[in-house]
């Protein structure tokens, strides 16, 4: 579900930016790639994958001058999800980051 993030009209250029919480779905290894691993090994591989995606995302944020618009990126877990607190503009831009599959506002996540 691709979302359009709208900046709060009350937030002008000189005002404090509005921050939103979003859930990023990131790429993960296919089930076929994980099939021959034990449950514990799969968890470790998935966690390492998300940690690599997180580091890549943080580098991409810095390279695209969005560091002031991204307040936090959650620690990696064994799931292919990261929580990000950012401005609506940064959320829209994160759709173009490598490895990001989808972004959902946290208040709309089911």
Please state whether the predicted TM-score (pTM) of the whole model is above 0.95.
Answer: no
* CATH annotation of 20-108: 3.30.70
The two tokens of residue 54 are 């997180």
Residue 5 scores a pLDDT above 80: no
- CA 30, 59, 98, 7 dihedral sign is positive
Q: What is the CA radius of gyration of the chain?
A: 15
Domain positions in the chain are 20-108
Per DSSP, helices labelled H in 23-87 are 31-34, 39-63
Tens of pLDDT along 17-50? 799 999 999 999 999 999 999 999 999 999 999 9
Residues 6+ apart with CB under 8 A from 94: 22, 24, 57, 61, 66, 84, 86, 100, 103
């Amino acid at each position: 579900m691709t979302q359009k993030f709208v900046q709060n009209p009350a937030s002008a250029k000189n005002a404090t930016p509005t921050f939103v919480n979003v859930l990023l779905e990131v790429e993960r290894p296919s089930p076929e790639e994980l099939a021959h691993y034990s449950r514990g090994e799969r968890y470790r591989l998935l966690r390492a994958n998300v940690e690599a995606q997180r580091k890549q995302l943080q580098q991409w944020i810095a390279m695209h001058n969005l560091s002031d618009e991204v307040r936090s990126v959650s620690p990696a877990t064994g799931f292919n999800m990261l929580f990000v607190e950012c401005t609506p503009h940064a959320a829209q831009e994160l759709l173009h980051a490598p490895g990001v599959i989808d972004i959902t506002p946290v208040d709309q996540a089911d």
